[in-house]
Amino acid sequence: MKKKIRKIVQVAFFVLVGLMAINHTLAESGKALPLIGSASIHAVCPFGSVAGLYQLVTTGTFVKKVQGASLIVLYLVLLLSLLFGPVFCGWMCPLGAIQEWFNALAKKLKIPQKKLPKSVDRLLRQLRYVVLIMVMVKTAQVGALAFNDIDPYYAIFNFWTDDFVVSSGYVLIVVLLVGLFVERAWCKYICPFGALLGITNKFRIFKIRRSKTTCINCKLCTANCPMDIVVHDQEVVSNAQCISCMKCTSEQSCPVDKTVQLEAFSKKPIQMMGIGVTIILVMVIGVSGAIASNHFPTETEKIPTKFEDGSGYDLDTIKGSYAFTDISEVFDIPLDVLGTAFGIPEAEWTTIKNKDLKERYGSEEGEAGEIGNGSVKMFISLYKNLPYDYETAGDYIPLKAFELLDAEGKIPEDKRNYIESHTVTLE
pLDDT digits (tens, 9 = 90+) for 352-382: 989 889 888 876 555 667 899 999 999 999 9
What length is written for the chain? 427
* Mean pLDDT of the residues in the chain: 90
Per-residue pLDDT at 40 exceeds 80: yes
Residues 251-271 as b/e (b if ≥16 CB within 10 A, e otherwise) read: bbbbeeeebbbbbeeeeebbe
Helix (H) or strand (E) holding 181: none
Q: Are 216 and 260 in contact (CB under 8 A)?
A: no
Confidence (pLDDT) at 6: 96
Report the chain's C-alpha Rg in angstroms: 27
> Of all helices (H) and strands (E), which one includes residue 261?
strand 260-263
User: Is pLDDT above 90 for 316?
Assistant: no
Query: What gap in Å lies between CA 91 and CA 399, rounded to an integer?
Result: 56
Q: Give the rounded distance of the alpha carbon of 95 from its chain centre.
A: 12
How confident is the model over 37-58, as a mean pLDDT?
A: 87
Rounded average pLDDT over 384-397: 91
Confidence of residue 93 (pLDDT cuts 50, 70, 90): very high
End-to-end CA gap in the chain: 61
| CB of 301 closer than 8 Å to CB of 322 | no
**Closest by Cα among 371, 385, 380 to 316:** 380
Q: What single string gives the DSSP state of each residue in 277-301?
A: HHHHHHHHHHHHHHHHTT----S--
* Residue pLDDT, tens place only, 175-229: 999 999 999 999 999 999 999 999 999 999 999 999 999 999 999 999 999 999 9
- Which residue in 10, 27, 74 sits closest to 350, CA to CA? 27
- What DSSP character marks residue 3? T
Would you state the pLDDT for residue 163?
Answer: 73
Q: What is the pTM of this model?
A: 0.78
- Answer left, alpha or beta for residue 385, where phi above 0 means left and psi between -120 and 50 means alpha: left
pLDDT in tens, 104-137: 999 999 999 998 999 999 999 999 999 999 999 9
Cα gap 391→270, rounded to integer Å = 68
